[in-house]
Amino acid sequence: MSAFVALLLCAVILTLRKILKVMSQDRKKSTAVIPPGSHGFPVIGETLQFMLSVNSGKGFYEFVRTRRIKYGSCFRTSLFGETHVFLSTTESARAVLNNESGMFTKRYIKSIAELVGDRSLLCASQHHHKLLRSHLINLFSKRSTALMVRHFDELVVDALCGWEHRGTVVLLTELLQITFKAMCKMLISLEDEEELGSLQKDVGFVCEAMLAFPLNLPWTRFHKGIMARERVMEMIEKIIRERRNETNGHHEDFLQQLLAVDNDTSSLSSDQSTKLTDAEIKDNILTMIIAGQDTTASALTWMIKYLGENQKVLDILIEEQSQIAKKASDKPFLLLEDLSEMPYASKMVKESLRMASVVPWFPRLVLQDCEMEGLLYSS
């Protein structure tokens, strides 16, 4: 199982169009063949089988596993109205993700754009993506990261105190709470328990809808996600309005940094001085809550599971942490600098991320026809 999960770490999905057209066009020039697989039923393709797998206990790995057995490490299918090719060899994953040839671009399925917004980093065109990144990369400054470390530590210490007297702790649920609070503090300084609760519920609906069948009818999961997105947008819009009306408010968060560009563009590059619109800010705040919450909570859950199974590693880790605690007994919380004193913990994090595929799905769109490992991919 772990070998399979590790293999899937490299799984890459390419959205391809008109494969059959290229097969006939390029037949004379190359001996490469189109990837094996099935397009399933007309229009819906294999979307239903994919959804059944996603909603089963095994997740969408089951969909991939059965097809890998039948077709090998590369197979094609049709999902959500488009041809997809799943790749799961290290070499092809490396070629697609490194994208040295410039033949691939990021693109998630259309229904995801309806949920996170078409101005989100996850859905933007290549040029727009570059512009958005130039703004958002600044948010991960040393100062922001230091604030995040401190805040995360506070949340963890607080949670651990509460866990001490509880019989059972469902780790993933608790860690999702912690990471959600951490993301909301870092992005929009939201700390009110009631507002956090309703935002978390709505973000949950959006996440569930991301891999639901994209049918927008009142009783569907997809519809619930779309409705929840509107409520999230309204909440962020309200926060933006309040910030603009404040005369001497002081907030150290991502939103404030993005809004500050409204007032001061003098020290920025030309890309950065094109300020983000409110719609771009709102879509990307939602994107970052989703991107940061689930990934971090799942990664932590896997790490704790692996540590529970490996006493030797746990002992070394405890020893490293105890040394840091002894040196800094007067400090109430961890500092960013303390992380550089944790070489063993850092290795443990990397190894856990290698073993567990926290983000198993890296969709890319093929921009130009190309060949890889004897197979033909068309734009």
Interface residues toward ligand HEM, by CB under 6 A:
106, 121-122, 133, 287-288, 291-292, 295-296, 299, 353, 358-359, 362
Task: Confirm if 124 and 117 have CB atoms less than 8 A apart.
Answer: no
Residue 292 C-beta: closest distance to ligand HEM, Å: 3
| Residue number, 32 or 366, with CB nearest to ligand HEM | 366
| Residue number, 56 or 126, with CB nearest to ligand HEM | 126
| Residue number, 34 or 136, with CB nearest to ligand HEM | 136
Residue 223 C-beta: closest distance to ligand HEM, Å: 26
Q: Lay out the sheet containing 104-106: strands in order across.
A: 74-79, 82-87, 12-16, 362-366, 104-106
| Residue number, 10 or 239, with CB nearest to ligand HEM | 10
Whole-angstrom Cα distance, residue 257 to residue 255? 5
| Residue number, 67 or 107, with CB nearest to ligand HEM | 107
Residue 173 C-beta: closest distance to ligand HEM, Å: 17
Whole-angstrom Cα distance, residue 216 to residue 267? 45
Task: Confirm if 179 and 360 have CB atoms less than 8 A apart.
Answer: no
Residue 254 burial by CB count (10 A; 0-12/13-18/19+): exposed, middle or buried? Answer: buried
Q: What is the largest CA-CA distance in the chain?
A: 74
Residue 59 C-beta: closest distance to ligand HEM, Å: 16
Residue 41 C-beta: closest distance to ligand HEM, Å: 28
Task: Confirm if 306 and 355 have CB atoms less than 8 A apart.
Answer: yes
| Residue number, 328 or 353, with CB nearest to ligand HEM | 353
First-to-last CA distance in the chain? 34
| Residue number, 117 or 292, with CB nearest to ligand HEM | 292
Q: Is the dihedral of CA 172, 174, 179, 180 positive or negative?
A: positive
Residue 373 C-beta: closest distance to ligand HEM, Å: 21
Token digits for 60? 């969408």
Residue 276 C-beta: closest distance to ligand HEM, Å: 14
Residue 364 C-beta: closest distance to ligand HEM, Å: 8
Residue 80 C-beta: closest distance to ligand HEM, Å: 16
Whole-angstrom Cα distance, residue 158 to residue 155? 5
| Residue number, 180 or 222, with CB nearest to ligand HEM | 180
The residue of the chain with the least Cβ separation from ligand HEM equals 292
| Residue number, 26 or 82, with CB nearest to ligand HEM | 82
Query: Nearest to residue 272, comparing CAs of 280, 120, 105?
Result: 280
